[in-house]
Amino acid sequence: MSVLPVGIGSSGDYEISRSVRFRSSATAYFNRTPAVAGSQTRWTWNAWVKRGILSTTQTMFHAGSSTANETMIMFDGDKLRLYNDAASVANMNVETTALHRDSAAWYMFTVVYDSAQATSTNRVLMYVNGVQVTSFASTTYPALNQTTVLNSVIATAIGQRRPAGDLIFDG
């Protein structure tokens, strides 16, 4: 459990149930392999994140069987990045320009993936604290109806890249 400060003007701390603290030195992570596949062309990922160690490549969410068959939501340095690499489809890489390097702040990150959208720039939408990201350092958008590894019957992890066991999240 994590302890968060109470709002401005309040005193004391309180626990938030079902929260977790990952330390890169402990290499802890959560993993699960879904029993059935979900939509691989339309999904949303959302998380409240408070960063620990900054300016390193870290995986918040990973689905994949190898480094050549994976979907990741990660920090590339301090930029938010969605990446997909699968032998059967073209690579996808969408990375923000903004740097997320306030280790005292809580961020709410949302990634919306919908490869059925006619306009390529609408196929990946990112939000930080409820505000849509419109400036990107890198954009290789998915093809129309392109699938991701996410939501397939494959190992899924929070906190590190599986099965490589690297790019460990700290926060």
Tell me whether residue 163 is in a domain. no
Integer Cα distance of 71 and 64 in angstroms: 6
Integer Cα distance of 26 and 104 in angstroms: 21
CATH number of domain containing 29: 2.60.120.200
Integer Cα distance of 25 and 167 in angstroms: 12
Range of 117's domain?
A: 21-158
Tell me whether residue 4 is in a domain. no
Query: If you search the block for the tokens 């919306």, which residue do you land on?
Result: 112
In tens digits, the chain (171 residues) has pLDDT values of 444 444 444 455 667 777 888 998 988 899 999 999 999 999 999 999 999 999 999 999 999 988 888 999 999 999 999 999 887 677 899 999 999 999 999 999 999 999 999 999 999 999 999 999 999 999 999 999 999 999 999 999 999 998 889 999 999
Number of domains the chain is built from: 1
Tell me whether residue 167 is in a domain. no
pTM, two decimal places: 0.88
Tell me whether residue 170 is in a domain. no
Tell me whether residue 3 is in a domain. no
Tell me whether residue 15 is in a domain. no
